[in-house]
A and B are shown apart, each in its own frame.
Chain A
Amino acid sequence: MNAILKPTPGELPEEGHERWSAEFAAAVPGDATTFNRSGIPIKPLYTPRDWNGQACEQHLGYPGQYPYTRGIYPSMYRGRSWSQRQLVGLGVPEDYNLRVKEVLRLGASALSLLPCNSVFRGYDADEVPPELLGTCGTVINHVGDMEAALDGVPIGDISTAMNDPTPFTLLAFELAVARRRGVPWSRITGTSNQSDCISHFVANHMFFRLALQGARRVIVDHIAFCNEQVRGWNPLSVVGQHMQQAGATPAEAMAFTLCSAIQYAEDCIARRMDPDEFLPRFTFFFDISISFFEEVAKFRAGRRIWARLCKERFGAKDPRSWRFKFHGQTSGVDLTRQQPLNNIARVTAQAMAGIFGGLQSLHTDSYDEVFSTPTADAARIAVATQNVLREEAHLTDVIDPLGGSFFVEALTDEMEKKIESLIRMIDEAGGMYQAVEKGIVQQMIGDSALAFQKKIDSGEQTLVGVNAYQVEEDPADYPALEYPDPQRMKAYLERLAQFKRSRSNADVQKALGELARSANDPQLNVFAHVVSAAEAGATHGEICRTLREELGFGHVLAMV
């Protein structure tokens, strides 16, 4: 759609370009074509032949104005920095609470909560091998646990982002805590992180609990409930991160994420929700790889495509509905166990790509994630990296500083074309739900993952310390995070048993019965009954099991 425009005569003389071409060919004979990870050819030089200011009005515009290529807000970081959203989660609720209080004391304005993998899989702590409890995330099983985790935290004033996929028990527990404390739900703000069930089905299956079609029902109910009763909450975060971490190229990850968002938006519209009501609460979450300019272009192109989809495909009229708000996380896949301190440099480059790409919120990985869950020192460096980039390197002084670069603009246009062709392919397959149920998306991601690994193995893609620049080293030089104290976990399990004994089992059974009934009645809102069950004292595992029985178990469609 974006024709290559001829340079304006007099701007750059044609004979100059010819001379440069000849001189370049002489200096670099047989220059091999370079491709980025998404398969787009990258030239050695970009000039007004590739992109020039005549395209400005249509494709670029101004920050805060359609099509938002240069950012979704007029002021961007000059007005307010991105949020520094580091995931925190380990051990028992009291461990989390200590960590949170420390983070708040240091000036954090938002919290994040990463639950234990047992929670992700939909089980209570007493249903799983005890060795694994709390080793990756905090064990949160019921309203009492959430009370302990948020003890002393002013939940009406602070945003809480929780990794909380279907059926969203963590938000239910927080709402129950709010009710106990007398905090109105209208003051509860934050995000159901990673609530995108499609991304879990395609990749990163740890979050996937219910059969896909059941999860599809629950996410729409969750969006409807939050729009009505928790209006400051972002119920949907559409996730490209899982897919890119699983091997998708940047263009594939952006395309498949947008396709998932299209499905959620169309499901909401089918439920007679107004696009201008739900779209402003959609958020996105992406991986940021080290392919620097490609990532910048991916985000700029994604922002433009999303604005167009919202306006033209969904018919949203409010400009707030057109904004592509996203959180970025630096890519763990790019980090190496060899010479691990080099990872600090990698994370810095990745973070810069995200910042120049215009993200709203950023998680920087710790250099030691190739050894274990981050240690405190490594996590501090990850946060400091963001502070250095903002306050010492002054990356926030100018909005979209790469805008207008011949290369960045041409690449943004190329990425846009690539992403749009993938979206067309998924549309033709019947949309994202059908495409993933047929395994089309998984197959493409798996192929891309293997192709990239082969490039590393062949040395075509350099990985410093791995296939180049190796040094002798002893991995024992780097400490790994200690696992939670087994005694504390044993005490937790005793308290869980005590909690189950002390609650009213009649109330719990009644609430779970109503939850089961809601799952079978499209007129009822399942998430409303998840909240009631949480308030009645039902545990996470009980809520998940009830819904699994009614809506089907989540089976992985794994393809090699």
Chain B
Amino acid sequence: MAARPPRVIVTKIGFDGHDRGSRVIAACLRDAGMEVIYTPPWQEIPTVVKLAMEEDADVIGISSLATDHLIVPRLMSALRDAGMGDVQVIVGGIVPHRDEAVLLESGVARVFHPGTSLDDVVAEVRALTAKRRQMQGASA
């Protein structure tokens, strides 16, 4: 049986509505053959956690332009509290260097900055999906 393609949620949390980045990423992951669940901006953290559970998402991609990444650590603990610590979270957008370390420490797998090529994003999502499925296999 062929492996299920990566299943990815592309979303924005917080207040910012600039969604060019998230739309471009969603379209490119879809074109690369992944299953993409795309949400409009302004999602609440509990909504994202619920969606990840219902959709059995491998990866959650958070797009941030105007400091909304500052509440990503809250998302990380909400995922762990819901028993979904294996879901891989990536953040892309305008993230000051000093905040990148904070995000990685909170459990974010990878931070993508402007200028990243779409191919790199696709490769990373595939790698993180493999990692998550391995984690699931190990715990099963």
Assess the B71–A132 pair: CB atoms within 8 A.
yes
Q: Measured between C-beta atoms, what is the minimum distance from B108 to chain A in Å?
A: 16
**Contact in complex: A372, B114 (CB < 8 Å):** no
Bound together, the chains give a CA A465 to CA B16 distance in angstroms of 28
Fill in one digit per residue for B24-57: 1 if any A CB lies within 8 Å of its CB, else 0: 1011101000001011111000000000000000
A118 touches B15 (CB 8 A): yes
Interface band, chain B = 35 or more
- Docked complex Cα distance between A476 and B19 (Å): 26
The minimal Cβ–Cβ distance linking A274 to chain B, given in whole angstroms, is 35
Give Cα A370–Cα B66 distance, bound, in whole angstroms. Answer: 10
How distant is the Cα of A449 from the Cα of B71 in the complex, in angstroms? 27
Residues of B within 8 A of A373 (CB): 67
Contacts of A480 in B (CB 8 A): 96-99
B118 contacts across to A, CB distance below 8 A: 453-454, 457
Question: When each residue 93-132 of chain B gets 1 if its CB lies under 8 Å from chain A and 0 otherwise, what string results?
Answer: 0101111000000000000011101110000000000000
Could you say which of A120, A129, A555, A557 contacts B71, with CB atoms under 8 Å apart?
A129
Are A446 and B23 in touch, CB under 8 angstroms? yes
Q: A475: CB under 8 A from chain B?
A: yes
B43 vs chain A, min Cβ distance (A): 11
B27 to A206, Cβ gap below 8 A?
no
Of B67, B94, B118, most A-chain CB atoms within 10 Å = B67
CB <8 Å contact, B40 and A371:
no
Q: Chain B's nearest CB lies how many Å from the CB of A165?
A: 11
Give Cα distance in the complex from A200 to B26, angstroms: 21
Contacting pair A372 B19 (CB below 8 A): no
* Cross-interface CB contact of B15 among A132, A449, A478, A557, cutoff 8 Å: A132
Given A136-B66, A371-B96, do A555 and B113 touch, yes or no (CB 8 Å)?
Answer: no
Are A466 and B41 closer than 8 Å at their CB atoms? no
List chain A residues, Cβ under 8 A from B74.
129
Give the Cβ gap from A127 to chain B, nearest Cβ, in Å.
11
Chain A interface: which size bin?
A: 35 or more
- Minimum CB–CB distance from A215 to chain B (whole Å) comes to 14
The answer to whether B26 touches A560 (Cβ under 8 A) is yes
A336-B94 in contact given A132-B14, A205-B19, A450-B27 (Cβ < 8 Å): no
- Contacts A118-B15, A337-B113, A457-B117 known; A132 to B42 CB distance under 8 Å? no
- A206 touching B17, Cβ below 8 Å: yes
B41 touches A205 (CB 8 A): yes
A204 to B17 alpha-carbon distance, docked (Å): 5
Complex: chain A residue closest to B118, CB-CB: A457
Contact across chains for B97 and A558 when beta carbons are under 8 A apart: no
Contact at B16–A206, with CB atoms within 8 Å?
yes
Q: Which residues of B contact A369 (CB under 8 A)?
A: 94
Please give the distance in Å from B61's CB to the nearest CB on chain A.
12
Task: Tell me if B115 and A337 are in contact (CB < 8 A).
Answer: yes
Residues of B within 8 A of A555 (CB): 40
User: Is the C-beta of B18 less than 8 angstroms from some C-beta in chain A?
Assistant: yes
**In the complex with contacts A135-B70, A205-B41, A463-B115, A333-B15 CB distance below 8 A:** no
Contact of A117 among B14, B99, B119 (CB under 8 A): B14
Q: Which chain A residues numbered 355 to 380 have a C-beta less than 8 Å away from chain B?
A: 369-373
Does A348 count as interface, using CB distance less than 8 angstroms?
no
Q: Which of A132, A208, A476 contacts B67 (CB 8 A)?
A: A132
Most chain B C-beta atoms within 10 Å of own C-beta, residue among A135, A203, A372, A481: A372
- CB distance B20 to A449 under 8 Å? yes
Residue with the highest number of chain B CB atoms closer than 10 Å, among A132, A247, A555: A132
Q: A117-B14, A117-B15, A129-B74 are in contact. Are A337 and B114 (CB under 8 A)?
A: yes
Known contacts A247-B20, A337-B114, A560-B26; is A121 also within 8 Å of B96 by CB? no
A246 within 8 Å of B (CB atoms): yes
Instruction: Flag if A121 contacts B42 (CB, 8 Å).
Output: yes
Knowing A121-B15, A476-B97, A560-B26 are in contact, say whether A205-B20 is a contact too (CB < 8 A).
no
Contact present for A246 and B20 (CB under 8 Å): yes
Q: Taking A132-B68, A205-B42, A556-B40 as contacts, is the C-beta distance between A245 and B17 under 8 angstroms?
A: no
In order of increasing CB-CB distance, the 5 nearest A-B pairs are: A205-B17, A480-B96, A206-B17, A556-B40, A117-B15
Listed A/B pairs (15) with beta-carbon separation below 8 Å: A121-B42, A204-B18, A245-B18, A246-B19, A371-B94, A446-B23, A446-B24, A450-B23, A453-B24, A457-B118, A463-B115, A466-B115, A480-B98, A480-B99, A556-B19
Spell out A's residues near B (CB within 8 Å): 117-118, 120-121, 123, 128-129, 131-132, 135-136, 200, 203-208, 245-247, 333, 335-338, 369-373, 446, 449-450, 453-454, 457, 463, 465-467, 475-476, 478, 480-481, 483, 555-560
- Given A132-B68, A200-B17, A457-B119, 7 other A-B residues pairs in contact with their CB atoms under 8 A: A135-B70, A206-B15, A245-B18, A337-B115, A338-B115, A369-B94, A560-B30
